[in-house]
Every structure is written in structure tokens, then in C-alpha cells.
Structure 1
Amino acid sequence: MRLEFHPLPSAEVELIHRTGRDSYANPVERHASAEEGGMPCRHCLQNVPAGQPYLTLAHRPFQGQNPFTETGPIYLCDPICAAAVPSPEPPAFLAADHYILRGYSAEERIVYGTGAVTPRDALADYAAQLLARDDIAFVDLRSASNNCFLCRIKAA
């Protein structure tokens, strides 16, 4: 199975930049990156370069709303950056030892028993195991320390 790590869709990111609002219609925060490697953009899937501006906002990476559509803080380059091309390689900004992978149904509901803290070098293997199941439509990759959404993994 070929996996692809997907950034946030450009249409969503463009809407955030155009309106200056997050998933709850609250204003986004604007900051400048103090150091290289600290703010991973969910659109280009790169770290915001040192000294460059970025947005901080609450984001819910789901189409609908139900009890399982989690929200968390994310960062985006400011101004808008080019979207990362979906790739079989995990994003380069992943520097932690462990991450959370969680499988979701086509109805955007967590499939119980799929959430696991996973070592960085095992992300692709565990995501492939989950996506081989008929009841899992996509896998979300999240920070193990802060539970922030990082990217979505799909079968190609």
C-alpha cells in the first residue's frame, strides 16, 4: 500500500488567510518565528523560517461536526505558502521521538482502539496497518506531547 501524507487543503488555508478567523470565528494570532524549527506549518509541511511571520489558530480539520471532530492549535506561514505535495514521506518537520496516530471512519469518527503513541520511525508502518482496514478512511498524525493536528495520512 502506498501512503500519502497530506497538508491542510489550500482552500481551507486560503479562507483562514482571507478572513483572519479560526474554526470558531475567533481572530487568528500573528507572530514572528523566533528560531528555526519551532513552528511547523500545516500547509507547506515545513518549519516557518526564523524571523518570518506565522499564524497561530484553533483548527478543526474535519468537514462536519460530531463529538469526535477534535480541535487544536496549529501554525501556518504568513503570508500564505505553497501547499506541500502529498508524499509517501513523513513531513520533514517531525523531530519528536513519538507521535499519536488515530484512525477515523468515513463519517469522521474515531475508530476505537486505533489511537496509539507511535515512534517516529514506525509511523508509516502503523498508518499502513490502519489504512488496510475497511473501517478506516484516513489517519490523523498528531503531536504526542500537545495533541496538535499535524497532517492527514491517506492511502494513495
Structure 2
Amino acid sequence: MKFTPLPAPLEIDLSKSVLKPVTEEWSGPCRRCLTDARTGESLLLLSYNPFLGSSPYTSPGPIFVHYPECDRAYICDGSVPEQQARRPISVRAYDSDHMMVEGVVVVSGGGGRAGFELQKKLEELFEDSKVDYVHLHYAGAGCFAVRVDR
């Protein structure tokens, strides 16, 4: 599977964004590098639309990104990134017309099972030929997390 942090172009308008210092560990998931910001780093809170086509499901929403840039890069190895593995995730599968095929919330376990349930659900969804791609959102706040492709 391919995890794409920001599938659509990221447009930063500082006049419509908020700079947030990170004061607690695990409180700021950056969507560029798919890692959590460390205490003392700064994140920019801004609105982002992850869709690459027209759909009634298009939903711009808040995301965090390191500011001014990430000091680490995300490298996809096909496994669920740690950032998504430890959080409850809303899994939204779409067809090639950007219409939702299925939506479900997955809560992965801690320890050695982190990400197992999410990985299993993604594999199950991609067995359905109608599913073209999946958007993951953080279940609590509903913010876009990452796009997943076969």
C-alpha cells in the first residue's frame, strides 16, 4: 500500500493560519512527514482539502504541518505509519468517481499490535474492485490524516 501525506497541493496562507507551539508529546500530528511534533516545535494549523476531484464528500478541514518546514521526511514502506497506528482512525473508501464506498472507525491496539487492525481493514477494502483509494481521518477531531492507495 502507498501512503500519501498530502495528495492535493498544500496552499499556505499565513493570514488564515494559526501558529501553534507544541507543549505536549503526541499532540501535533504533522501531515507532511507523518510524525508527531516534538515539544518545543511549532506547527501551523490551516485548512486543507485532500480531494483530487469533484465530489459531494469534498471537505476542507484543519490539519497541522511543521512550520516552517519538516526536519524529517516521510518514506513509505507500505506499512501503516506510526502516527495512524496509535490513534482511532475513520477509514473512508472512495471509488474512481470520488463517491464513498464504505466508512468505518478502526481503533488499533497498543504494543506489538499497533496498526494491525487498520492494516487488516485496508487490505480488506482494497480487495473490493470498486475501491480506488482511501482517506484516513483522525476519528476524534475528524481531521484528514493521509491518503492510501493500492
Q: Where on the TM-score scale, by shorter chain, does this alignment land: which range?
A: 0.7 to 0.9
TM-score scaled by structure 2? 0.83
Matched, 1:105 2:95: yes
Contact 2:55–2:97, Cα closer than 8 Å, also in 1: no
Report the equivalent of 1:119.
Answer: 107
Report the equivalent of 1:146.
Answer: 141
Report the equivalent of 1:78.
Answer: 67
Q: Where in structure 1 are there 5+ consecutive unaligned residues?
A: none
Aligned runs of 1:7-156 on 2, under 5 Å?
A: 7-9=5-7, 12-13=9-10, 15-16=11-12, 20=13, 27-81=16-70, 82-94=72-84, 95-96=86-87, 98-111=88-101, 114-120=102-108, 121-155=116-150
Instruction: Give the whole-Å Cα distance in 1 for the aligned partners of 2:148 and 2:99.
Output: 15
CA shift, 1:149, in A, is: 0.9
Instruction: Give the whole-Å Cα distance in 1 for the aligned partners of 2:124 and 2:48.
Output: 27
Letter paired with 1:115: G
Letter paired with 1:149: F
| Number of residue equivalences | 141
Instruction: Give the whole-Å Cα distance in 2 for the aligned partners of 1:63 and 1:80.
Output: 23
Q: Name the % identity.
A: 29
Give RMSD over aligned pairs.
1.9
Q: Which consecutive aligned stretches of 4+ in structure 1 deviate over 4 angstroms post-superposition?
A: none
